[in-house]
Amino acid sequence: MTAGRPVGGGAAAPRRAAPGMRRKLRIFLGVVRQIVGAPDYERYLAHHAARHPGERPLTPREYYADFVNWRFGSGAPTRCC
């Protein structure tokens, strides 16, 4: 070992995920969002374009605010205990 040099040969170069791994991660996160009930803006945009052509879709901020209002807006408890 030489003085002033970190053990292991220096700082490691940052790794980039392979394209296949990024795709799997996106799919996994989409499934997790569905399980916990979080909205999916991209799916909303696809639905809106197919079912409501010519109408302006909600912005991401409006979309999530609408979801939060739908989920928690009444003030009623959202769990059993």
Tell me how far apart the alpha carbons of residues 45 and 55 are, in angstroms, rounded to a whole number: 11
Q: Where are the domains of the chain?
A: 39-68
Above 80 in pLDDT, residue 47? yes
Q: Are 46 and 33 in contact (CB under 8 A)?
A: no
Q: What is the pTM of this model?
A: 0.50
Q: Are 72 and 78 in contact (CB under 8 A)?
A: yes
DSSP-assigned letter for residue 2: -
Tell me how far apart the alpha carbons of residues 34 and 28 are, in angstroms, rounded to a whole number: 10
Q: Please state the rounded mean pLDDT for residues 57-71.
A: 88
Q: Tell me if residue 73 falls in helix, strand or coil.
A: coil
DSSP-assigned letter for residue 53: T
